[in-house]
Structure 1
């Protein structure tokens, strides 16, 4: 009887998680573009990025938001993780859960092929859902993660200030 109750509880939690992921995905589809930008490094077009919010305006800390990146070249997951670490170092991010976050991303992110779209949706509670080509691929529950992640593009101290301005619709 105990085993059956445990299985029932696990199934209920799994169903709730799936329902939440679909709700977040639906919420992401009701958003408006704030701004968009193209990252070009030397001769290479790397990606297009788009920032979304319900109102079509970005207010720091306001949720939900969605940041979508459409890659214009193949990129290994390992390179994405490495770049995330570099950008956090540039921003001075030093969070006690940072190693756990990077391990979670290593397990979640696939290698990217040209035209893939990787997106993060941060909900009202600060939970982060990652989508690959509009299909959920994983979540990070820690409410601190999402802001630190999107700060790579949206912080005033970003390594790409022109890209930031375009994403914020200021350019």
Structure 2
């Protein structure tokens, strides 16, 4: 309703109706009407994260883009003892909410490539790790999530949305996997800084 028409209507309306109209206008604004946008509520911590890490809190989140294309939105939960300089020393959880479809095998292959960018991996070990990740990762569609919980000196566990996947009991693979995002040698330093809460999300 244009501002002039609203003032004319309010001046002619009885007091009770005038207050009722004002309440309706305020409600419309709060719900995002008239061009206004309601403030987004923060997403809750996933149940599997709170079960695995009762003291977990959201350290940071970031948007991963490649050539301007949105790939996934990442969120990192850590415990109070977390130290970015020794990120493999304490449990943590990383969630990736994909914004386009990917094959599980492609996610596994890309993971190994990112690990090798930081430090070479012997061919037989790389093949074994890629096979282990391929066996766990499902194909994902836009809007679906993969959540991984890192357990120091043990391995990692994954969930596809709320569905638990097979655990990987390989401490070195788990450490190298999370280094993709959290190591200073990551190929996405701005995303790392945002996940660690050191900069705003890109």
TM-score between both structures, scaled by the size of structure 1: 0.78
What is the aligned partner in structure 2 of residue 37 from structure 1?
Answer: 62
Select 1:112's aligned residue among 140, 144, 151.
140
Larger Rg: 2
Unaligned runs of 5+ in 2: 1-46
Deviation at 1:30, TM superposition (A): 4.7
What is the aligned partner in structure 1 of residue 195 from structure 2?
Answer: 167
Give me the whole-angstrom Cα distance separating, in 1, the residues matched to 2:127 and 2:133: 10
Select 2:121's aligned residue among 84, 90, 94.
94
Structure 1 residues 21-72: Cα deviation after superposition (integer angstroms, max 9, x where no partner):
x998711465211111101122311111111112285442222111111101
What is the aligned partner in structure 1 of residue 108 from structure 2?
Answer: 81
Give me the whole-angstrom Cα distance separating, in 2, the residues matched to 1:167 and 1:73: 21
Deviation at 1:146, TM superposition (A): 1.1
More strand by proportion, 1 or 2?
A: 1
Deviation at 1:162, TM superposition (A): 0.4
Aligned residues: 150
- Give every structure 1 segment of 4 or more consecutive aligned residues whose post-TM-superposition deviation is greater than 3 Å: 22-25, 56-59, 95-98
Give me the whole-angstrom Cα distance separating, in 2, the residues matched to 1:109 and 1:72: 16
Deviation at 1:145, TM superposition (A): 1.3
